[in-house]
Structure 1
Amino acid sequence: MTQAKTSVIILAAGMGKRMHSSIPKVMHTLAGRPMISHVLETVSQAGYSDIVLVVGKEMEKNHELFLPYQTVHQRERLGTGHAVKIALEAMGEMPENILILYGDTPLISASHLNHLVRIIEDGADSALLAFKEDKSNSYGRVFVKDSHVDKIIEASDASSEELKNNLCNSGIMAVSGKIIINAVNQIKDNNSKKEFYLTDIVSIINQDGGKTSFVECSKDECVGINNKSDLAKAEAIIQEKYRENFMQKGVTLLDPKSVFFSFDTILGQDVEIGPFTIFGPGVSVGSNVKIKGFCHLEHAVVSNNAVIGPYARLRPGTNIDEDVRIGNFVEIKNSQIRSGAKVNHLAYVGDTNLGKQSNIGAGTITANYDGFNKSKTNIGERVSIGSNSVLVAPVNIGDDSVTGAGTIVRKDIPDNSVSITEGAQKTSIGAAEKYKAQKKLKTKKDNEDL
């Protein structure tokens, strides 16, 4: 199947009023990226590169996402039929097959797109994807006669009897390039919304002696997103797919439904993931890694045999080498943690290179921001940073060095050195009894004054 034979039109101009959002509908994220990106990825997987996007004015600020594709602006929202018409006018030479998709129907599979195209190549004039849904819904109803589609009636124009038909139209269809322009030009706006419905093309093809076939798919694959509730349902569907895929490849999920992945998450073999863990975009995890519960990772790399969490946060730019331990309530940002190093609890490490076999004590922070600039901290190999230390960047700590508890490091520490911030400790022997008596007296007086 060559690209010259098939072009794809993606309709993405809907305002998305029911989303109640300033973000264009198709730019709402699903598994870490805009839903329109899922559609574009599926089209690419199916093997098609000749794409025309129909967008509205709200999408102009997202133009960089669409740079590789031909884009047509639908200035007036006159319906799906009108959107396809202006896309066809922008194409120039007509291909043999036209695939029509929707930017708000992101879970469609590449195999079903190719199936529709094969039906057109086998001689049908058009073919659409349909699914069965017994619950009340706003999808158009597909009526079949003699194994072909007789007509599609939009839910808003259907009678109560017609709405009992549970075969629904996904909106996704393929049409022969030989007949599409003539058919689209015949679409009228004689309906309740005074719009040009693309679905009317079926009746027009039938009137001209043609036939429309249909392929039935699961309702999960055809789900359209019109509001935040639909978005949540789609997220649940795609997450379930990701979870099952990872478990089939050897990943252990201790509580699958509480773990969330992004579209590009990479997990190695024998990874174990605890409950309530979230993978943002750009995360790659090696083999034999244990990620304990309540962790959050984004744009981070975790190498083999590392242990992360619980309650750890790996932020963008983090690279965790092999055999590293990142413990509870630790945040790592834009840092390289070398093999065998440990940051076990209650620490912030930002813009830091931490050497092999080094240990960061509890309560340590790298003070990397002075209100104007971010600065680097470089910690050598086999370094021991005492609990509650503050490393004020930019600063370098040499190999095999030690800092005492509570040390504030403002100057570089050479290799094999010990650095301690000594504050005077005053101890008054026998003073505790007097101190406690004074406290009790003050508390009693305060209570009497209330």
Structure 2
Amino acid sequence: MSTALVILAAGKGTRMNSDIPKVLHPIAQAPMLVHAMRAGSVLSPEHTVIVTGHGSEAVASVAEAEDEKASIAVQEEQLGTAHAVAQARSALDGFEGDVVVLYGDTPFLQSDTLERMIAARAENDLVILGFEAADPARYGRLIMAGNTLERIVEYKEASDEERSITFCNSGLLTCNSQTLFALIEAVGNDNASGEYYLTDVVEIARNQGLRVTAVACDEAQTLGVNSRADLAAADAVFQSRARIALLEQGVTLMAPDTVYLAADTVIGRDSVIEPNVVFGPGVTVESGATIRAFSHLEGCHVSRGATVGPYARLRPGAELSENARVGNFVEIKNAEIAEGAKVNHLSYIGDASVGAGSNIGAGTITCNYDGVMKHRTTIGENVFVGSNTMLVAPVTLGDGAMTATGTVVTRDVESEALAVARAKQENKPGYARKLFDMLKAKKARRNKGS
């Protein structure tokens, strides 16, 4: 049976105290909505419908960037969860498969849970996802009779006996598309909030003689994010899981709790990650690489055997080949560092390519920006760039070339040539003492005047 996802992402998230829609707040540097979409993608859905409301354009932009085929349905008024799902009806017109309803602020749902929900749907008309709560608090309780879900009882309406139940409602469900929208049509808003609640479909389905059940998952998968504190807790959960996964995959984390990972970080086994390393989005580190302490990586690729840091920054477009070395206080942006090349100290290499075996001396800078346009620097193989060299792009250094320390390179250097471009040094005997005496006298006059 084909499936469709309906992801509810219309809420403002008042408790977040933010102008940003709640579902766009990041966990591991990816919006919560993206986590939910990736969780649902395991089902290979035929349709994905994102129901937006507050900040609709921003939410739609993120959703479409993640899945260009995603449909957007707008809930103009937030009249409850059943009303939100109803907005997806036109986007699913003619679709006869199963609908899985997810929430954009529930980022940790696991693939096996969704698969078990779909499997249970084969024998039931409606499947609700529940969880055993450590502290049931004010969650709605799932009242079961064997494998049948009889009803959902909200906390404020539950008896003492029902409140003792720890099997609680997550709000997620799956149902045949036509059945679901027919059930939603029967949902009323005769309640204190005047809203149309999706949970009411359980009672309606039971009254119609439909088969209803609940599937259980661990509570962590249903963790919702409603405040900044929740967001921090959710990020901590993600980081803990991701670090454990890396350790199990054979990655050495010298101080795991100090390493911050992005949602899409990929690190190969036998790599070593030293303390206080931050991975931004889009980073791949191949096996056997070393990322040393206090480095920051984003949008880059580090090949086998390469070393980065300490205190290095790799920005988007940085490409390090095998056994390349990027050392302390070095920044690489949109540049390729070929096999065995070294940029070890206090340098900026941007919009450039560095050939195999080349050595970039301390304090070297590619001057890639003229105030309007970016320009590229090309450094050949086995080039030695002397310390404190300024490479004013666009410029090319041929294979085996060398620049003298302190050189400002403004035109191409042919292969095996030495470039020297600096003023001649002159030493003036006694001038240092004369200059200091003059400056001290000037300072004394100034202090006397004040």
Q: TM-score, normalised by structure 2?
A: 0.90
Residue 430 to residue 104, structure 1, CA distance change in 2 (3 Å):
same
CA contact (8 A) 1:46 1:111 kept: no
Equivalent positions of 1:418-437 (< 5 A) are 418-429=418-429
CA contact (8 A) 1:157 1:191 kept: no
Alpha-carbon shift at residue 382 of structure 1 (Å) = 1.5
In structure 2, what is the equivalent of residue 98 of structure 1? 99
CA contact (8 A) 2:271 2:287 kept: yes
For the pair 1:167 / 2:167, whether they are aligned, the reply is: yes
Q: Separation in 1 of the partners of 2:262 and 2:155?
A: 34
SS in 1 for 2:175: strand
Q: TM-score, normalised by structure 1?
A: 0.90
Amino acid in the other structure paired with 1:366: T
Q: Separation in 2 of the partners of 1:8 and 1:372?
A: 45
Equivalent positions of 1:125-140 (< 5 A) are 125-135=125-135, 139-140=139-140
Structure 2, unpaired ranges of 5+? none
Amino acid in the other structure paired with 2:17: H
In structure 1, what is the equivalent of residue 373 of structure 2? 373
Out of 9, 26, 36, the residue aligned to residue 12 of structure 1 is 9
SS in 2 for 1:44: helix
For the pair 1:51 / 2:24, whether they are aligned, the reply is: no
Q: % of aligned pairs identical?
A: 40
Equivalent positions of 1:131-280 (< 5 A) are 131-135=131-135, 139-146=139-146, 148-154=148-154, 165-177=165-177, 179-280=179-280
- State the Cα RMSD in Å: 2.7
CA contact (8 A) 1:9 1:100 kept: yes
Q: Separation in 1 of the partners of 2:422 and 2:202?
A: 84
Residue 67 to residue 266, structure 1, CA distance change in 2 (3 Å):
closer
Residue 437 to residue 165, structure 1, CA distance change in 2 (3 Å):
farther
Residue 159 to residue 396, structure 1, CA distance change in 2 (3 Å):
farther
Residue deviations 1:296-343 (CA, integer Å, cap 9, x gap): 111111111111001111111111111111001100011111111111
Residue 437 to residue 88, structure 1, CA distance change in 2 (3 Å):
closer
Equivalent positions of 1:250-329 (< 5 A) are 250-329=250-329
CA contact (8 A) 1:156 1:192 kept: no
For the pair 1:75 / 2:72, whether they are aligned, the reply is: no
Q: Separation in 1 of the partners of 2:308 and 2:403?
A: 25
CA contact (8 A) 2:352 2:377 kept: yes
Residue 94 to residue 254, structure 1, CA distance change in 2 (3 Å):
same
Amino acid in the other structure paired with 1:426: E
Alpha-carbon shift at residue 144 of structure 1 (Å) = 3.6
Q: Name the count of aligned residue pairs.
A: 446
SS in 2 for 1:224: coil
Residue 416 to residue 152, structure 1, CA distance change in 2 (3 Å):
same
In structure 2, what is the equivalent of residue 25 of structure 1? 22
Quick check: 17-26 or 145-154, which moved more?
145-154
Quick check: 342-351 or 198-207, which moved more?
198-207
CA contact (8 A) 1:157 1:192 kept: no
Out of 8, 14, 38, the residue aligned to residue 35 of structure 2 is 38
Amino acid in the other structure paired with 2:9: A
